[in-house]
C-alpha cells in the first residue's frame, strides 16, 4: 500500500466515525494499513526480531499519522475561517486538560 493510500485510509476512518459508522468498520479500515505478516530473519535474536517488525510498521504508521494530521489541519483551517468563539488551539488545550484529569 502506498503512503497516499494509507493517508486516504486515515481520512476515510475519520469520515466514517463522523458519519456514525461502527467501531468495527473503522478498525477494519485502519487495520488495512498494518502488514498481514512481518519478515524476520530466521536467526534473529529477540532484539533483531523486534527491530525488524518495528521497521516494517514505522512506514505505514507514520503515513497514517500524517493522514490524521492533514485531515485535522484542513478541518481546523476551515473552522478558523468561521470566526469561532474558541480557536482550535483552545479546543485542543481543553481536550488535553480533560484527558489529563480523567482516570484511565
pLDDT by 10s per residue, the chain, length 104 = 899 999 999 999 999 999 999 999 999 989 999 999 999 999 999 999 999 999 999 999 999 999 999 999 999 999 999 999 999 999 999 999 999 998 87
The pTM of the full predicted model, rounded to 2 decimals, is 0.81
- Residue from 7, 25, 8, 28 nearest 16 by CA: 25
Number of domains composing the chain:
1
**Residue 93: which domain range?**
3-101
CB-count burial class (<10 Å; 0-12, 13-18, 19+) for 76: middle
* DSSP class per residue in 25-91: HHHHHHHTTS-S-----TT--HHHHHHHHHHHHHHHHHHHHHHHHHHHHHHHHHHHTT--SS-HHHH
Which pLDDT score, from 0 to 100, does residue 58 have? Answer: 95
Which pLDDT score, from 0 to 100, does residue 6 have? Answer: 94
Which pLDDT score, from 0 to 100, does residue 19 have? Answer: 94
Amino acid at each position: 500500500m502506498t503512503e497516499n493510500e494509507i493517508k486516504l485510509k486515515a481520512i476515510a476512518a475519520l469520515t466514517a466515525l463522523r458519519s456514525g459508522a461502527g467501531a468495527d468498520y473503522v478498525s477494519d479500515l485502519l487495520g488495512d494499513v498494518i502488514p498481514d505478516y512481518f519478515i524476520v530473519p530466521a536467526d534473529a535474536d529477540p532484539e533483531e526480531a523486534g527491530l525488524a517488525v518495528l521497521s516494517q510498521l514505522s512506514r505505514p504508521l507514520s503515513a497514517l499519522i500524517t493522514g490524521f494530521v492533514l485531515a485535522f489541519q484542513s478541518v481546523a483551517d476551515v473552522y478558523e475561517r468561521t470566526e469561532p468563539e474558541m480557536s482550535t488551539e483552545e479546543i485542543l488545550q481543553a481536550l488535553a486538560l480533560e484527558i489529563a484529569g480523567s482516570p484511565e
